[in-house]
Structure 1
């Protein structure tokens, strides 16, 4: 009987390890905002498309590692420009300056009504200075999340989109559904902006300077349903399995004595 108990305890620990090591995956839809159409209506249209989207597996990569990866590979070979052809970064010799005007966050889907959402969107509004009149400057954004104050981890890299001066009509929206691998917790968001063709960050916004990116109550889809049951948040990843095994062994030794 005791043996069965400790085997069950060990298997529970291994389950925690497997869950911690499971690959994260997300579904993402992104689009330029059409200001002639209500934002809520556009967002609902994208939400209806999300279930048909394929989930993309996320490499477990930190912000520092991602920046090195971007520096090592030419942007023109790693980024999609969508239906538009990006202006060559060699076509101008003057300096562009960028800043984030605002980023709005919208919490969208919470199936089990526990206050933690598996779908959210980011409406990114950035500006460019120093561009010629009427020039559309190609950029892309790299989005990271930090779980409960932890390390920044890559979430998504957008396609190329275009900024035009301080226009209010060039905002860009990214709708993300966390498919799996995101424990129920509070997540901060950070966004690095890159000018297409260059490997240095031209603007950054994060939870440090925007409340809309701070402590988002999130969880992945596989946890956002009534059948999942009560969740016990265990920090420390695979270490939790070792702790459980150690506790089981200590209990067995004490009973044996």
Structure 2
């Protein structure tokens, strides 16, 4: 029987990737160079991308998907990763990458918008120098912070709306410290800390300053120890879920005060 020729085995780094193994696919796409660094790269949470002069060398599945690609192989087929960024941001990306690659500067996290095939994403990007076959490269970590950015945007809109209210507004936390005020509040109480400095001020200090500036018209204050009166005032406020009161100022003005304790305290 004639001897059948033996098919030579393929080197490990040229074997086709195993379909159900992301790491095998990534190693194959990156020319097999990721294998020695697998433990380090796998320990990094989120998306991981390595490039040199924006030529991709390695990407994990998370990075590929965050950047709008289906697989790492598809991402690594790109010739210039800089093209993924908006033109207005490309100069800054180049500058950051050069500082990492040539000066070894670890870049702090940077949050940027990125238009991908699945829509607009906000990504937090950190960059550092990484030893890679052929010379130093840039290790990029990616985190999707779209939800956080949207939440912050919503909070900003809410703060702006509160600031424009014609009525005065103040919000305390569960420890009775100031969280938020609006412009009208500071017009009425100019003797209190400025709007950009009042956050964290205790309610006791707010009441104490009001007493010192003679804007408290409660007749019981006149014949009471001021500190004891303040203590009792705060105790009453803490015990009431809802408080409505009409106050007359020394100059004759009247205010309707509504205080409501939220479910969170």
Same-fold call, TM cutoff 0.5: no
Q: Which has the higher contact order (CA 8 A, sep 6+)?
A: 1
> Which has a greater percent of helix?
2
> Which has a greater percent of strand?
1
Q: TM-score range by the shorter chain?
A: under 0.3
Larger Rg, first or second structure (1 or 2): 2
TM superposition score normalised by structure 2: 0.21
